[in-house]
Amino acid sequence: MTPLPLLPTSLVGSYAQPDWLIDRAKLAGRFPPRVRAKELWRVEPALLAEAQDDATQLAIRTQERAGLDLLTDGEIRRESYSNHFATALDGVDVDNPGTALDRSGHPNPVPRITGPIHRPHPVQVRDLEFLRANTDRPVKITVPGPFTMSQQAQNDHYPDLESAAMGYAAAVNAEVKDLFAAGADVVQIDEPYMQARPDAARAYGLAALNAALDGVTGTTAVHICFGYAAIIHERPEGYSFLPELAGSPVQQVSIETAQSGLDLGVLTDLADKTVILGVIDLSNPEVETAEIVADRVRRAFRYLPPEQLVIAPDCGMKYLPRDSAAGKMRAMSGAAALLRAEIQEGR
């Protein structure tokens, strides 16, 4: 991997999809889909893959122009962060879905587990290869975590959800290894339900995450958040599940701090990790100045050195207007430039 600069900038995962590709009003008017939601796409099926490739290139170029250091594919091909992978697995019935409560307590159609969970083929390797071929910068790709997928399913096969989570962990483990083999510089596992359901996360979610990372060589991250700001409006004062990750083999932990005004004392629990620091408020389309973003990053210097920080949005940018998302990325890069200059002068 090309060495990253001090305080590198990166998306958490998703970027704003263009309205010519996906019906953004429909997307925003519902909870993130757990089963397929093909009705969201505006492009006819025969042309959809090509359109998604074109939109992915737009996302890549926009990140480059904004000055980001570590790029993602923007999750442009996904209807949600998790269903792209979860619905590609064997052992789940997505045509006859079950029901599970989402993190806000609403029932949602979800994959119904009807047999042993198995990954029949690599799901996102082609997505990673396309990203790798279209930029010279380091790249990251995201995979939904085994615990979160187990919470977003109706279990009609395994004796308990812990067993289901371990089934998902094996599928994620195989996928992560294939993604690194295909050229990923960082693979991030998204586990927002660890925050939403901390007791179950402590009981078996952490073990499932560790199983998903077993034997993996490469830089891995885990993302823990309070939910999309466009959908989950209230933010707790702190994380209900975070220090537990200190013992995980994951090297990077992604958290949100901007909208919540999080007390960054929690960073002392992650002293051995690189922290992907969410410093862009996604509840407001107004673009922050570089100085505002820099101030949010400076709060972390009391607890972690700049060498252990990555500058990022709070969560995925999927629901932001595209102009707003691009402006917020430029603010991140501007903040990084300000802070690097300050640090250089101080040395």
Rounded to an integer, what is the distance from CA 79 to the centroid of its chain? 13
Length of the chain: 347
Residue 140 has a pLDDT of 98
Closest CA to 140 of 178, 191, 186, 85: 186
Residue 155 has a pLDDT of 96
Mean pLDDT by 10 residues, the chain (347 residues): 91 97 93 91 98 98 98 97 96 92 81 97 98 98 97 96 97 98 98 90 95 97 73 60 89 90 86 96 94 97 96 96 97 98 85
Kindly state the DSSP code that residue 192 receives in the 8-state scheme: T
Token representation of residue 57? 């290139």
Residue 228 has a pLDDT of 54
Residue 229 has a pLDDT of 47
Place of tokens 């980001």: 68
> Which ranges of the chain would DSSP assign to H, the alpha helix?
24-28, 45-66, 83-86, 125-133, 146-151, 161-181, 193-196, 198-200, 206-212, 290-298, 322-346
Residue 238 has a pLDDT of 67
Neighbour-count burial of 289, counting CB atoms closer than 10 A to its CB (0-12 exposed, 13-18 middle, 19+ buried): exposed
